[in-house]
């Protein structure tokens, strides 16, 4: 074990962030299917394999430098920022579901997670029937967007009707914290025939504020053991 004062990394407060491109994807009313996300504006978004309407971003915060110096990352706060309009043209009765996550392990079944978002939510990481422990999810934010009606016409502007936060903010010695942004639609857009309906979700930023500390050897070793168990659960 390294000496306590021989670290190459600086201890103290840190702020980590990842910025993501907006999502723009079209529903083809003639084919009755969603097309691939637009290349220029959705470079980091990918379709969820096997899902009718599901798209995701996967990235990570690299904490390996702290771990190499036997330091612990203590999450203090986590949140998302977003600027721009969320909406669907010709939405019909469609709603948008959006899930942001920071986890200690990768999500291994995105189609099941999409189905859970649409259904009862029991597979959302760290809840009910999911394979993830409470401590594995550092931060989560769940939102549902519904179209705003004006003069009996549904506009291309959606407002959040449900906005929930969860997560453990537990200390971690993992090399990586995985970041997810997962979007899906509930219902089929109102586009028909040759018309298109466009889903738009604006740019976003995921932020994690941590306090990097040097623990005594025994607590650090036990925390590493626990992080390993959670990551390989």
Given the structure tokens 């986890």, which residue do they identify?
A: 103
In a domain, 136, yes or no: yes
pLDDT surpasses 80 at 228: no
| Span 65-83, average pLDDT | 93
- The pLDDT-based confidence of 108 (bands split at 50, 70, 90) is confident
Residue 120: how many other CB atoms lie within 10 Å: 12
Residue 61: how many other CB atoms lie within 10 Å: 20
- The pLDDT-based confidence of 2 (bands split at 50, 70, 90) is very low
Domain range enclosing 115: 12-231
In a domain, 1, yes or no: no
pLDDT for res 103? 95
In a domain, 5, yes or no: no
In a domain, 135, yes or no: yes
Given the structure tokens 């043209």, which residue do they identify?
A: 89
In a domain, 7, yes or no: no
Q: Write down the mean pLDDT value for the chain.
A: 87
Residue pair 153/147 in contact (Cβ under 8 Å)? The answer is no
3-state secondary structure of 85: coil
pLDDT for res 25? 94
- The pLDDT-based confidence of 3 (bands split at 50, 70, 90) is very low
Name the domain count of the chain.
1
């Amino acid at each position: 074990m390294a000496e306590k004062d021989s670290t190459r990394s600086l201890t103290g407060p840190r702020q980590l962030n990842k910025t993501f491109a907006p999502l723009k994807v079209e529903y083809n009313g003639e084919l009755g299917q969603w097309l691939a996300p637009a290349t220029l504006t959705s470079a980091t978004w990918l379709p969820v394999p096997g899902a009718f309407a599901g798209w995701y971003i996967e990235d990570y915060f690299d904490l390996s430098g702290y771990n190499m110096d036997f330091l612990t990352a203590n999450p203090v706060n986590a949140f998302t920022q977003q600027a721009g309009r969320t909406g669907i043209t010709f939405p019909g009765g469609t709603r948008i579901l959006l899930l942001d996550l920071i986890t200690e392990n990768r999500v291994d079944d995105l189609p099941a997670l999409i189905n859970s978002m649409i259904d009862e939510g029991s597979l959302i990481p760290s809840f009910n029937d999911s394979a993830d422990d409470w401590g594995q999810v550092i931060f989560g934010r769940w939102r549902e967007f519904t179209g705003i009606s004006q003069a009996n016409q549904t506009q291309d502007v959606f407002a959040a009707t449900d906005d929930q936060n969860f997560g453990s903010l537990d200390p971690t010695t993992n090399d990586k914290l995985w970041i997810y942004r997962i979007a899906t639609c509930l219902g089929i857009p109102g586009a028909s025939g040759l018309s298109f309906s466009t889903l738009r979700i604006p740019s976003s930023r995921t932020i994690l504020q941590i306090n990097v500390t040097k623990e005594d050897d025994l607590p650090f070793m036990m925390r590493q053991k626990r992080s390993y168990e959670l990551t390989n659960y």
